[in-house]
């Protein structure tokens, strides 16, 4: 890490004149997406199906809540809709015989719409009783534990998508004169000793006022299983002719 900071310091010294393309600068490996999954309801955790570091596929169930009450309310909503539909059917038959008014039929139709809305709400609530993986990736940290009671907003898991790794690189602001998307970069990782090829994807929106360094975001080509988010190293850009 000290070497990387020294690299950044040397790079900063040449920032005013546009810099040298072979000057190494600091790079940090980053995942494609990193998320903290939180509870959307107040309930007791019934089961957590993953552990720290475990891989999962998109759609896998990660957390299951005890939702007996919510399922009971769902059955109630289904029964109320069934009753409202049969009540409307009966009123329409009576309307043909002029035994009820048109208003009674309209009110019965409104009752069905209310029952459908209640059913939709309860279906959505029951869906929240299971948290499924929004993408393929790995578990960074299991925060909550089985049988704990949680409330909406409580963090449960930290996950990330490592299918495509990138790098956040700090470069002298003066290099923005030639640093553009597509520029090739070579990144040597301290922890593995391996060198990876990457390409600049985009430039940061602002320069740090104190260091006059600009964040550069690159996409790593052909990352292997040994490369993990959070690893760091030295990046060398190939300056275009």
20: pLDDT strictly greater than 80: no
On whether both 20 and 40 belong to a single domain, the answer is no
Q: CA gyration radius for the chain? A: 29
Give the mean pLDDT of the chain: 90
Q: Are 236 and 7 in contact (CB under 8 A)?
A: no
Q: How confident is the model at residue 16, as a pLDDT? A: 44
Question: Looking at residue 47, which CATH number applies to its domain?
Answer: 2.40.50.100
On whether both 174 and 232 belong to a single domain, the answer is yes
| Listed residue (27, 49, 35) closest to 140, CA to CA | 35
On whether both 148 and 222 belong to a single domain, the answer is no
- The pLDDT tens digits for 178-191 are 889 999 999 999 99
Question: Looking at residue 168, which CATH number applies to its domain?
Answer: 2.40.30.170
On whether both 8 and 61 belong to a single domain, the answer is no
Q: What is the pTM of this model?
A: 0.79
Look up residue 132 and give its two tokens: 């499924």
Q: Which of 114, 140, 161 delimits the end of a domain?
A: 161
Could you give the number of structural domains in the chain?
3
Question: Looking at residue 77, which CATH number applies to its domain?
Answer: 1.10.287
The whole domain housing 135 covers 34-65+130-161
On whether both 141 and 49 belong to a single domain, the answer is yes
On whether both 153 and 166 belong to a single domain, the answer is no
């Amino acid at each position: 890490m000290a070497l990387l900071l020294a690299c950044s310091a040397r790079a900063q010294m040449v920032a005013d004149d546009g810099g040298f393309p072979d000057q190494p600068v600091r790079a940090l490996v980053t995942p494609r997406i990193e998320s903290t999954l939180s509870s959307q309801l107040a309930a007791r955790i019934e089961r957590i199906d993953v552990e720290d570091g475990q891989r999962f596929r998109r759609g896998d169930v990660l957390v299951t809540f005890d939702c007996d009450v919510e399922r009971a309310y769902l059955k109630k909503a289904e029964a109320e809709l069934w009753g409202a539909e049969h009540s409307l059917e009966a009123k329409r038959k009576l309307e043909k015989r002029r035994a009820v008014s048109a208003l009674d039929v309209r009110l019965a139709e409104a009752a069905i719409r209310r029952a459908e809305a209640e059913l939709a709400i309860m279906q959505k609530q029951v869906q929240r009783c299971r948290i499924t993986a929004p993408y393929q990736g790995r578990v960074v940290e299991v925060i909550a534990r089985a049988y704990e009671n949680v409330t909406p907003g409580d963090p449960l898991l930290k996950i990330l998508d490592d299918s495509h790794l990138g790098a956040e690189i700090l470069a002298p602001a003066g290099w923005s004169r030639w640093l553009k998307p597509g520029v090739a970069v070579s990144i040597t990782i301290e922890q593995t000793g391996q060198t990876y090829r990457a390409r600049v994807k985009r430039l940061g929106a602002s320069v740090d006022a104190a260091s006059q360094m600009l964040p550069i975001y690159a996409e790593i080509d052909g990352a292997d299983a040994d490369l993990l988010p959070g690893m760091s190293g030295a990046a060398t850009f190939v300056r275009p002719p």
